[in-house]
Amino acid sequence: MKKINIGIFGGTGYTGGELCRLLLNHPEVQEILPTSRKDLDFNRYYQALSGSGINFITSEDLEKRVHEGDVDVIFLSLPSGEAMKLAPMALDAGVKVVDLGADFRFKNPNLYEQIYGKKHECPDLCREAVYGITELKREEIKKARLIANPGCYVMNAMLGLVPLLNKGLIHLDHIPVFGIHGMSGADNKPERDIMYTEVEGNIMSYQQIHRHNWEIEDQIKQLSGQKAVVNFTPTYGSFSRGTIIWCNPFVKESAKKTSREEFLRLYSKYYKNEFFIRINQFPKTKSESQKEYDIYPQIKNVRGTNFCDIGLDYDTERGIIKIITVTDNLIKGAAGSAIQNMNLMFGFDEKEGLKSYGL
Angle formed by the axes of helices 211-224 and 109-116, nearest 10°:
160
Q: Which of 20, 126, 152, 247 is catalytic?
A: 152
Exposure of 274 by Cβ count < 10 A (0-12 exposed, 13-18 middle, 19+ buried)? middle
Tell me how far CA of residue 309 lies from CA of 58, 79, 289, in angstroms.
38, 28, 25
H or E stretch at 343: helix 336-345
Q: In what order do the strands lie in the sheet with 277-279?
A: 203-205, 230-237, 175-181, 243-247, 320-327, 308-315, 277-279
**What number of CA atoms fall less than 13 Å from residue 12's CA on the CB side?**
17
How far CA 69 is from CA of 75, 178, 304, 338, in Å, comes to 16, 44, 33, 22
Active site residue 126: no
Say if CB 301 and CB 288 are below 8 A apart.
no
Residue type, 80: S
CA separation for the pair 148, 130 (Å, rounded) = 6
For residues 103 and 113, what is the distance between their CA atoms, to the nearest angstrom? 10
Task: Give the phi and the psi of residue 95 in degrees, each rounded to 5.
Answer: -100, 135
Which residues are catalytically annotated? Answer: 152
